[in-house]
Amino acid sequence: MRKFLLSLVLVAMAGFASAQSLKFERLNHDGQVEGEIQPGRFEVVGDINMMYELTFDMQVTNIGDEAVTITCERIVTSPEAGSNYFCWGSCFSPAISQGDLTLDPGMPNVFNAHFAPIDENWNPIVGTEITIEYHFYDRTGEHMVFEVYFKYDPTIGITDYNDVDVFSNAYPNPANNVVSFDYDMPFNAQTASVAIYNMMGQEVIRQDVNLGGSRLDINVSDLTDGVYFYSLIVNNQAVKTSKLVISK
C-alpha cells in the first residue's frame, strides 16, 4: 500500500511538473466542467449508461502560446475485460492504442474514455472491471498519466470522488494554518483518510475522515512553505490526488 501511494504521488508530481502548458478539467455526464484535475488515479464505479458504457471525460486546454501536438496512448494494465476505446479528436477503435491531436492555444478539446462491460453478445456482466492508463505526451518529452479504474456495479450510483459535491478540493489553496475539505461520503465508503506528501513523496500528515461528518479541517501550521500533494484514501485505495500549496 505504501509503495502504491508513493508511486501515485510521484506520478501526480511528474504530471504536474510537466503539464504546465496543458490544463485538465473533469466533465460530468452532461458535458459540464466540474473543476480542474491533475494527472493521477481516478475511479468510475457504478451503473452503465444507455450505451452500456462507463465513461471518463475531461476537457484539455492548451494554455501555452503555441500550438502543440499531443499523443494519447492507451495501456491496459489489468486483465482485458469487456470492450474499451477512447476519443481524442477522433474516436479510435479497441484495436488502435494511440492517436494524435493538435491543440491550438486557448481552444478546449475533449477527451473521452469508454468502457463497455459486455460479452461477445453485448450482454452486460455485473462486476466486470478493468484498469487503463492514458498517457499524454508531446515531442518535447512532456508526459502526463491518467489511470482510470472502471467497474460495473448496478447496485450503486457512480461514485466520483473528484466530484466536488462528494469531496471538495482543498481550500484555501494556498493554505496558511488550516486546510479544509467539504464532503458527502457515499455509503460504500468504509474507511477514509487524507494524506499529505512533500515533493519527495514522503507522507507528512495523515488524518482520518469522519464518515458521518461533512467537513474535514487539517492543521498544516507546522509545514514549511512549498508545494505538496494530498491524496484522498477510501477503503485503503487512493482515489483522488491534487496539489496543495503552503504559503505563510
Mean pLDDT of the region 175-200: 90
Per-residue confidence at 159, pLDDT binned at 50, 70, 90?
low
pLDDT of residue 72: 96
Mean pLDDT of the chain: 86
What pLDDT score does 86 carry?
97
What is the arithmetic mean of pLDDT over 198-215?
Answer: 91
Tens digits of residue pLDDT in 81-95: 999 999 999 999 889
Asked whether residue 102 carries a pLDDT value surpassing 60, the answer given is yes
Cα–Cα dist 218/216, whole Å: 7
Q: Examine the pLDDT at 27 and tell me if it is beyond 50.
A: yes
Do the domains 2-152 and 178-246 sit in the same CATH topology, yes or no?
yes
Lowest mean pLDDT among 31-35, 62-66, 227-231: 31-35
Buried (b) or exposed (e) across 41-70, using 16+ Cβ within 10 A? bbbbbbebeeebbbbbbbbbbbeeeeebeb
CATH class of 178-246: mainly beta
**By C-alpha distance, which of 123, 147, 145 is closest to 43?**
147
Can you give the pLDDT at residue 99?
A: 94
Rounded CA-CA distance 82/76 in Å is 12
**Domain 2-152 CATH assignment equals 2.60.40.10:** yes
Task: State the average pLDDT over residues 195-200.
Answer: 91
Report residue 36 as a C-alpha cell.
Answer: 480542474
pLDDT at residue 130 tops 90: yes
Write the pLDDT tens digit of every residue in 215-234. 999 999 999 999 999 999 98
**Domain boundary assignment for the chain:** 2-152, 178-246
At residue 9, the pLDDT reads 46
d(CA 66, CA 132): 30
List the grid coordinates of 148: 482510470
This prediction has a pTM of 0.63
Res 158 pLDDT > 80: no
